[in-house]
Amino acid sequence: MSEVVVAENGQGRYQQEVLAGQHRLIADEPASIGGADAGPAPFDFLMSGLGACTSMTLRMYAERKGLPLTRISVALRHDKIDIDGVARDRITREITLEGELLPEHRRRLLEIANRCPVHRALSHSMTLDCALSE
């Protein structure tokens, strides 16, 4: 099990220090909503995780299958949409695959992208537990 610890860092109204293993990151809100834009916003981190997982999963698959995939890029956007009168979050991924890939390789890679662990977790029902520490 991995653990990430997030705590206010005292450097700004919304700034947070994010400790993920040996890595230290800063999260913040954009200036347009009162932050200092000192780091990515929470949804940016969420999309970063999905984009990184997508790219890594595709790289692993391409290496295992010996596909001539030379570069992967994933662009992600977040917006709100209305589904049956309920506002829902939507993340759109646009995946760019470079290399001498056949159409069947590209189709299969899209299928594999939708099987990355973060995509699966976000697109299926997930249990989120929350408790106050003692």
pLDDT digits (tens, 9 = 90+) for 77-106: 999 999 999 999 999 999 999 999 999 999
Distance between CA atoms of 29 and 25, rounded to whole angstroms?
Answer: 14
Residue 83 corresponds to which tokens in the numbers above?
């589904």
**Can you give the pLDDT at residue 1?**
74
Question: Taking all residues of the chain, what is their mean pLDDT, rounded to a whole number?
Answer: 96
Burial of 122 (0-12, 13-18, 19+ CB in 10 A): middle
Q: State the DSSP string of 69-94.
A: EEEEEEEEEEEEEEETTEEEEEEEEE
With a cut of 90, say whether residue 2 has pLDDT above it.
Answer: no
Delimiting residues of CATH 3.30.300.20 domain(s) in the chain: 42-123
Between CA 61 and CA 11 the distance in angstroms is 42
CATH architecture of the domain with residue range 42-123:
2-Layer Sandwich (3.30)
Write down the pLDDT at residue 134: 87
50 — pLDDT class (breaks 50, 70, 90): very high
Stated pTM of the model: 0.92
